[in-house]
C-alpha cells in the first residue's frame, strides 16, 4: 500500500505545486504564532495529501502540520502518518528558490519505518526529485533508483532559527574542521543530504553532509529524516546523547518538538559530540 501511496503522490503533487508557483504573487501568505510562514499552498497540499492517505487507509491516524488530519491518539501504538505539506515554505514563495519539499513519514509503534520526500523542482532541469523508503530494512530510492549513500565531505548542516546564537555543537564541528551550513532552507532536504548523495540528480551544487544538527526540531521537520538516516546506516541522537530510534513525543499537542536532533556516523559522533560518545560506543 505504501508503494502505491508514494507513486500516487509523486505523480499528483508536482502539477499542484506548478499551479501555485506559476503565480506566486497571488498566493496568500501569513505568519503563524511561531513566526513561521503559512501559505495557501501549504493548506491545499496538506488537504490533498491527507485525502490521498485516507483513500487508501480510511482508518489512518494522521498528524499533519496544519491540523488537517486531526490527532486521534498519542501514537504510542499502531501506524501514524506524519505530514508536512511544504517543508521550506520560505523557499517556496520565492521565485527561483528550489529547496522545498512535501513530506510524509510513517511511524509503526513510534518507529519511523517509511518516508516520502518530494522536491518538485530540485531535480535535473527543474524536474521533481523524489526520495522514498518503503519499509524497515529497505534502501533509499531516488526517483525509483537505489541512492548512493552520502560520503565524507567535511560539511555539516547545523542550522538554527533566525537570531539564535551559535551553540556548542556548531563550535565543536568548527573546531573539528567542518564547514557549516547555518542558514535554514528545508531541514528535511538537509537530512536527506546527510543520508544520500543527490549531487548527480540536481542542477544545483548540493553536496552531502556528514553531520546534521538542529535544536527545537518540530516532528514534521525531523521524522522523515530519521527514517532516511537509519536507512543509510547513520545514527540519530537525542539531547542527552541517547540513540533515538523512536519518536518520544506526545503527538496530541499542537507542535510536538524534539529538544534536538543529531545525525552522524558512529565514529564522528564519538569524536564530535561528547554527550553521544557513550551511546555511540554501545551501538
Strands 155-157 and 211-218: parallel
Statement: residue 186 has pLDDT above 80 = yes
Given a cut of 50, is residue 283 above it in pLDDT?
Answer: no
Report whether CATH 3.90.1150.10 matches the domain 2-146: no
Dihedral sign for Cα 122, 247, 31, 45, please.
positive
Query: Which of these ranges, 155-164, 185-194, 207-216, has the smallest mean pLDDT?
Result: 155-164
Query: What CATH class has 155-282?
Result: alpha beta
Same CATH topology for 2-146 and 155-282?
no
Residue 211: the pLDDT is: 95
Q: For 225-248, what is the mean pLDDT?
A: 93
- Identify the pLDDT of residue 280: 47
Confidence of residue 72 (pLDDT cuts 50, 70, 90): low
d(CA 113, CA 138): 9
**Percentage above 90 pLDDT, the chain:** 72
pTM of the full predicted structure?
Answer: 0.94
Q: How confident is the model at residue 244 (pLDDT cuts 50, 70, 90)?
A: very high
Task: For residue range 18-59, list pLDDT tens digits in order.
Answer: 999 999 999 998 887 777 788 999 999 999 999 999 999 999
Residue 36 pLDDT: 79
Alpha carbon dihedral 183, 187, 189, 190, in 10-degree steps, equals 60
**Mean pLDDT value of segment 109-128:** 97
User: Please, what is the average pLDDT of the chain?
Assistant: 91
Given a cut of 60, whether residue 279 has pLDDT beyond it is no
- Give me the residue spans of the domains in the chain: 2-146, 155-282
Lowest-pLDDT range of 89-93, 214-218, 221-225, 277-281: 277-281
Amino acid at each position: 500500500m505504501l508503494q502505491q501511496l508514494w507513486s500516487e503522490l509523486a505523480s499528483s503533487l508536482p502539477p499542484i505545486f506548478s499551479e501555485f508557483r506559476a503565480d506566486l504573487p497571488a498566493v496568500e501568505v501569513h505568519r503563524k504564532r511561531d513566526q513561521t510562514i503559512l501559505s495557501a499552498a501549504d493548506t491545499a497540499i496538506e488537504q490533498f495529501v491527507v485525502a490521498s492517505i485516507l483513500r487508501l487507509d480510511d482508518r489512518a491516524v494522521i498528524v499533519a502540520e496544519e491540523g488537517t488530519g486531526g490527532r486521534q491518539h498519542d501514537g504510542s501504538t499502531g501506524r501514524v502518518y506524519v505530514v508536512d505539506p511544504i517543508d521550506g515554505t520560505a523557499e517556496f514563495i520565492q521565485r527561483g528558490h528550489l529547496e522545498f519539499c512535501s513530506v510524509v513519514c510513517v511511524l509503526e509503534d513510534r518507529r519511523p519505518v517509511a518516508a516520502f520526500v518530494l522536491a518538485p523542482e530540485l531535480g535535473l532541469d527543474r524536474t521533481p526529485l523524489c526520495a522514498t523508503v518503503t519499509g524497515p530494512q529497505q534502501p533509499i530510492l531516488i526517483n525509483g533508483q537505489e541512492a548512493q549513500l552520502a560520503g565524507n565531505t567535511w560539511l555539516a548542516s547545523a542550522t538554527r532559527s533566525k537570531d539564535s546564537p551559535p551553540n556548542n555543537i556548531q563550535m565543536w564541528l568548527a573546531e573539528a574542521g567542518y564547514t557549516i551550513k547555518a542558514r535554514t532552507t528545508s531541514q528535511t532536504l538537509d537530512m536527506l543530504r546527510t543520508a544520500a548523495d543527490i549531487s548527480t540528480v540536481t542542477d544545483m551544487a548540493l553536496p552531502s553532509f556528514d553531520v546534521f544538527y538542529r535544536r527545537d526540531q518540530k516532528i514534521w521537520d525531523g521524522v522523515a529524516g530519521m527514517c532516511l538516516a537509519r536507512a543509510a546506516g547513520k545514527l540519530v541522537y537525542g539531547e542527552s546523547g541517547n540513540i533515538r530510534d523512536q519518536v518520544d513525543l506526545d503527538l496530541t499537542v499542537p507542535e510536538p518538538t524534539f529538544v534536538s536532533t543529531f545525525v552522524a556516523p558512529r565514529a564522528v559522533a564519538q569524536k564530535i559530540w561528547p554527550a553521544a560518545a557513550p551511546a555511540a560506543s554501545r551501538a
